[in-house]
Amino acid sequence: MTEPLGEPRPDAALGLAGVPHTGEAFTEDGHLIEPQAGDFRHARAAQPDPAWYQTAVFYEVLVRAFNDSNNDGTGDLRGLADKLDYLDWLGIDCLWLPPFYASPLRDGGYDISDFRAVLPEFGDVDDFVYLLDQAHRRGIRVITDLVLNHTSDAHPWFQESRNHPGGPYGGYYVWADHDTGYPKARIIFVDTESSNWTYDPVRGQFYWHRFFSHQPDLNYENPDVQEAMLDVLRFWLDLGIDGFRLDAVPYLFEAEGTNCENLPRTHEFLKRCRKVVDDEYPGRVLLAEANQWPADVVEYFGDPGSGGDECHMAFHFPLMPRIFMAVRRESRFPISEILAQTPQIPSHCQWGIFLRNHDELTLEMVTDEERDYMYAEYAKDPRMKANIGIRRRLAPLLDNDRNQQELFTALLLSLPGSPVLYYGDEIGMGDNIWLGDRDGVRTPMQWTPDRNAGFSRCDPGRLYLPVIMDPVYGFQALNVEAHSNNGSSLLHWTRRMLQVRREHAAFGLGDFTELGSSNPSVLAYLRRWVDPSTGDEDLVVCVNNLSRFPQPVELDLSDQTGRIPVELTGGVGFPPIGELPYLLTLPGHGFYWFQITNQGEEGEVR
Amino acid sequence: MREIQPEELVADLHEALRRWLPEQRWFGQKGRGVDEIRTVRAATVIDGEPALVHALVEVSGGDVYQLMIGVREHLSDVLGHAAIGRSGELYAYDAPHDPELMGRLLDLVVAGEDRAGLLFRTEPDAEVEPGMRARPVGVEQSNTSVIYGQDYILKLYRRASVGNSRDLELHRALRAAGSVHIANPLGAVHGSLTGRSVVLAFLQRFLSDGVEGWATATASVRDLLAEGDLHADEVGGDFAGEAARLGTAVAEVHADLASVLGSEQVGVEQIAAEVDAMHARLDAVLAEVPELREHAEVLRMAFDEVRSIEEPVVVQQVHGDLHLGQVMRSTMGWVLIDFEGEPAASPQQRLLPRSPLRDVAGMLRSFDYAAFHLLAGAEEDRQLLTRATEWSDRNRSAFCEGYAKVAGDPRDQYRLLRAFELDKAVYEVAYEHHNRPDWLPIPLVAIRRESFRVA
């Protein structure tokens, strides 16, 4: 069966003619021929470091938004590669790229129509390998999103499945004669979908989808699907990618009588994915996207006894809105509470924490009690309510207040977890609320005061989104070049903080202990790490004033009596810690990072 | 090695104590000197260097104070500020400042020792580690506290009274009910006074992450007053969520106390007696504070309205002195502390069951204080006064709404609640008149506001 199908080929419609893609031909037994990693060059390997993700600073960048190399108005992989020197200078350890696969783009690229081809406007697989190679040359790693749960309905697998129920792909999706199965599974996009089942007139059956009806769920009960998806992982890992953020992981399996989320078999499959990584690609990571309460998310780290045997990392979703709430309330308790409720994670795992990214906090997944709490705190406050759906960038959310931007960044870099920065926030970029929904925070990166903010040489009308031009955040004044030339800019400040963070393993690896104090507006904590090879202790104290007013705080550091706090950004020694509570005063929204040191000879601190 | 004669030592210190006692924050008869001191008892708890002597002394007027006296041959600079006086070659000082002696005191509790007529005991289900590092905490109104590590706090009662036992008993009752709104009781030091058993010190779980409710509330008020053009429900520092959770916590504590210790309905005569007492307290304050006179008539009307309450009035054990300084916000939620009862009441009165609305009224008054205290003594600013009033109204309502999640809405019993609040405000008028004249307008404005509603 090698004759072309009777209908237009979806892949051709997606602009993949001329580049390798899935379904250019069929094998004799009716399987689609898919591109293989051996068809491409491979990137050089990153420096081996099995625990790199525990200390790394991540940077989320949209390929579309960063830099346009061919002047067609849309950012691309080559353009991103051209800016790696900037990211290297800034001190980023790993890029996180949202999906860049072939896609009809009906869900921001999360509707993947070919796992083994790049969206043509971003370039091709060779361009990705080039980016990866150039990144690794600079010691920067790259991870990307991979949607395991579903594909686009334009994916050749789905087209085969609907057209040839008896063929090799007939069982790749969840088909049924009735739309009555799994009634306990909630509908996630209630605004657009009325059921998790949609009727397909071609096949004459219903198919299952947890998200949009154009995103049919893969059938993980089918061993061929499991193998096919593991091969997708291998394809990119062979090219040299450093890991995946696994999108929508709780939904892989279905079972009657359950809500079809977080089922044991879903965890079994993640363990299989992990075993592939551990056995064949050590040093690469899996990051779970499970928008749930920390106590539930820890399931995705797997068995604590083995240090974790599912995902290496998972996002800590509730922390972000709590940080905003705490500063707004001038009270540490929103943060203290959520950290107190965050369980220990296996030793080889790490949280991913962020201030902004394109994900939103949804209140569906939390406990009733927590939902009440969040509603009580947010819903009464129109400004906070707007923050539940993350529709704005950091700087406008903080009224462009430099002190608060610094405080928030300092919290992000010092709380437990690997921080994820969002492109442009390092220069305090603004947003464009008139672009609606999510596009407002996806405008072109502002590089220079030149045409199109230096993002592209194209006709300005051809840009995928207009650059920010308002008087406060407009690119003429707010851009990387201007920030680079100003030593006191937010960009230089951010770079310095990343340097400081890199010098102290305690930030990434250390224990977290909150230091209570009688001042509710001050959040103080210890980060402590002992290097197992040398026995050296790295003890960092972080003190944050969440209030706009200056505040005093007395910290109980009596365990450290006689030692000297040295401020980390300037190296200034503070008065030694005595028997009495340690008194500090902080300016409004101020913070300190100290290393607790032993005094050396002749008053030298070491 | 010398042997300490405790009776002689304390006798030697009488003269020094006459000067030292009135300087202490916890000394009750402010502004009055101490003419005479009588040693009720004195005994050596720990002998050697340093030594610890426990003493109860009665001052003129009849109040009995508890002293923990450290005794050393040499007094280091660190302890110099705690010096009381000398007895022969020996230095005597306030022992709570001495980490060494306080550490050994904890060890006595852990070991369950009997020493010098004092019984050191842990609670039956408590696990307490000995050998913890001790440190004294800041100044307190009526006690002196010592913190051990990050784990325990020992409250040394300075006034030896049966009210202290109430603190322990109510904590035990709440512990038995499984309350999450207390600092768990861990142990106590028991003694006797005029033949009756008294609790002299109380060991509890230390809320190392706790912050006084007053500090959290006033942080919110400060935020509001700095805003100026925003309303209390619009500013970032809005406290209503916390106020509601606090209301729920107080209601849960009331429910637990009632379930363990019981509750009862009071009769008409008791209500009448309570109203008479309110009038009597008003009479006393009117005689002292002329500013209150214009409100006398309305106050009496509000009190008398209680006589005509038809719905049953229920009494039970309550906190007794509830305000924002008696609650702590910890990471796990709100905690009520210090169940010693109403300071102005006699020890016997403290033990009587009271209406839980007394606690509610105390907290509502405290919200009013939190709202207005930053404006006290400043030139009147209508804008700020309006904002502060909004804050007070908003958080008082939120507290009641939170309370109503567990029990009846306190505002449904408005006549009783209003009388309790006004009774409390009258007490505040007298207190501010004597101690902080700048703050006198806080209760007076509240009384004026309420009187419009009564009239």
pLDDT in tens, chain B (455 residues): 467 899 999 999 999 999 999 888 888 776 677 888 999 999 999 999 999 999 999 998 778 899 999 999 999 888 999 999 999 899 999 999 999 999 999 999 999 999 989 999 999 989 999 988 898 886 667 789 999 988 999 999 998 776 778 999 999 999 999 999 999 999 999 998 878 888 999 999 999 889 999 999 999 999 888 876 788 877 778 899 899 999 999 999 999 999 999 999 998 888 999 999 999 999 999 999 999 999 999 999 999 999 998 888 999 999 999 999 999 999 989 999 999 888 778 878 888 899 999 999 999 999 999 999 988 878 888 888 899 999 999 999 999 999 999 999 999 999 999 999 999 999 999 999 998 999 999 999 999 988 777 66
| DSSP code at position B318 | -
Select the residue from A333, A549, A577 to test the B interface by mutation, using most B Cβ atoms within 10 A: A333
- Contact by Cβ (8 Å): B254, B407: yes
Q: Where are the beta strands (DSSP E) in A101-242?
A: 101-102, 114-118, 141-147, 175-176, 197-200, 205-208
- Judge whether A208 and A192 are in contact, CB under 8 Å: no
Query: Closest to A328 (Cβ–Cβ): which among B209, B236, B332?
Result: B236
Which residues in chain A are contacts of B99 at CB distance < 8 A?
A: 579
Which pLDDT tens digit goes with each residue over A186-202? 888 877 888 999 999 99
Question: What's the one-letter identity of residue B33?
Answer: G
Q: Which of B99, B220, B331 sits opposite A333 (nearest CB)?
A: B331
A369 pLDDT band, cuts 50/70/90, is low
Res A366 pLDDT > 60: no
Residue pair A407/A327 in contact (Cβ under 8 Å)? The answer is yes
How high is the pLDDT of residue A356? Answer: 80
- Is the predicted pLDDT of residue A6 greater than 70, yes or no? no
Among B146, B211, B214, B245, pick the best mutation site for testing chain A contact (most A Cβ within 10 A): B211
User: From the centroid of its chain, how far is CA B328?
Assistant: 12
Backbone angles phi, psi at A260, to 5 degrees: 60, 30
Answer whether B223 sits within 8 Å of A516, measured CB to CB.
no
Are the Cβ atoms of B220 and A518 closer than 8 angstroms? no
Out of B135, B215, B331, whose CB is closest to A519?
B215
Interface test mutation site (partner A, options B135, B153, B223, B246, max chain A beta carbons within 10 A)? B223
| Residue A378, pLDDT above cutoff 80 | no
Q: Is residue A328 within 8 angstroms of chain B, CB to CB?
A: yes
pLDDT 10s digits, A96-126: 999 999 999 998 899 999 999 999 999 999 9
Return the pLDDT at A392.
77
| Residues of A that are catalytic | 247, 289
Q: ipTM, 2 decimals?
A: 0.80
Instruction: Tell me the pLDDT band of A602, cut-offs 50, 70 and 90.
Output: very low
Question: Residue for token digits 């214009």?
Answer: B294
Q: What is the distance in angstroms between the Cα of A526 and the nearest Cα belonging to chain B?
A: 14
Partner-chain contact A518 B215, CB within 8 Å = yes
Q: Residues 579-598, chain A: which have Cβ within 8 Å of B?
A: 579
- Range scoring the smallest mean pLDDT among A88-102, A237-251, A257-271, B138-152: B138-152
**Closest B-chain CA to A381:** B234
Interface contact B133, partner A, CB < 8 A: yes
Is the torsion defined by CA of A95, A101, A103, A107 positive or negative? negative
> What is the model's pLDDT at position A348?
93
CB A395 within 8 A of CB A429: yes
Average pLDDT of the segment spanning A501-520: 94
Residue B31's pLDDT is 65
Give yes or no for B38 touching A (CB within 8 A): no
What pTM was computed for the model? 0.87
pLDDT at residue number A386: 44
- B395 and chain A: CB distance < 8 Å anywhere? no
Helix (H) / strand (E) containing B302: helix B296-305
First to last CA, chain A: 74
Residues 6+ apart with CB under 8 A from B442: B368, B369, B372, B373, B376, B428, B432
Name the residue type at position A561: T
In the predicted model, is pLDDT for residue A605 greater than 80? no
Within 8 A by CB and 6+ apart from A570, the residues are: none
| Per-residue H/E/C for B123-186 | CCCCCCCCCCCEEECCCCCCEEEEEECCCEEEEEECECCCHHHHHHHHHHHHHHCCCCCECCEE
Give the three-state DSSP class for A362: coil
Cβ neighbours around A336 below 10 Å, total: 23
Residue A322 — left, alpha, or beta (φ > 0 → left; ψ -120 to 50 → alpha)? alpha
The pLDDT of residue B371: 95
Give CA–CA dist B324/B334, Å, rounded: 11
Percent helix, strand and coil across chain A, each to the nearest 5: 35, 15, 50
**Structure-model confidence comparison of residues A11 and A559, the more confident one:** A559
Place of tokens 């898919």: A34
Of B219, B241, B244, the CB nearest to A520: B219
Nearest to A520 among B99, B211, B233 (CB): B211
Q: Is the pLDDT of residue A388 over 80?
A: no
**Residue pLDDT, tens place only, A265-289:** 999 999 999 999 999 999 999 999 8
Considering only CB atoms, which chain B residues are within 8 Å of A328? 236-237
Q: Is B365 on the interface with A (CB under 8 A)?
A: no
Residues 6+ apart with CB under 8 A from B397: B240
Q: How far apart are alpha carbons B324 and B362 in whole angstroms?
A: 9
Which residues from chain A sit within 8 angstroms of residue B77, using beta carbons? none
The rounded distance, in Å, linking the Cα atoms of B326 and B214 is 8
**Which residue on chain A is closest to B224 by alpha carbon?**
A329
- If contacts are CB pairs under 8 Å, which of residues 97-126 in chain B contact chain A? 99
